[in-house]
Amino acid sequence: MRRTPNDPFGYNFLGYLYLQLHAYNEAISVLKKAVSLNPDNCYAYAKLSEAYAHLYKATTSGNGNRAEYKNLSLENLKKAGSTTTRDPRRVARLKEELQRKGILSTFNN
């Protein structure tokens, strides 16, 4: 990322790594940077949706951020499916993964 700071690929990959480490806030930060560099970034939106869904699932119902996490997850899932670079298989896999983990079903979708 030092050599090509305006290339969203590095931020996409770092976001993916943070997700694997369950460092969701860090993932969100770098994936937002990827989107700012390329607003038509299906991958980053999909991973943002996943990160927000994990935060939603990990947050208790009394936490004021819970509804926001839900809305941001669904919003980014929708954006992933509406980009011109969208990969229908990626979006379908994301939906399946969120359903399998019980995340998407918690949104009543």
Distances from the Cα of 51 to the Cαs of 21, 22, 88, in angstroms?
11, 9, 19
Q: How confident is the model at residue 103 (pLDDT cuts 50, 70, 90)?
A: low
Residue written as token pair 């869904």: 53
- pLDDT tens per residue across span 60-82: 878 889 889 988 998 998 898 88
Residue type, 38: N
- pLDDT tens per residue across span 21-46: 999 999 999 999 999 999 999 999 99
* Residues ≥6 apart with Cβ < 8 Å to 4: 10
**Amino acid 32: pLDDT:** 98
What is the C-alpha separation between 27 and 62, in angstroms, rounded? 24
**Amino acid 25: pLDDT:** 97
**Amino acid 109: pLDDT:** 43
Residue type, 48: L
Domains of the chain listed by start with CATH number: 8-107 (1.25.40.10)
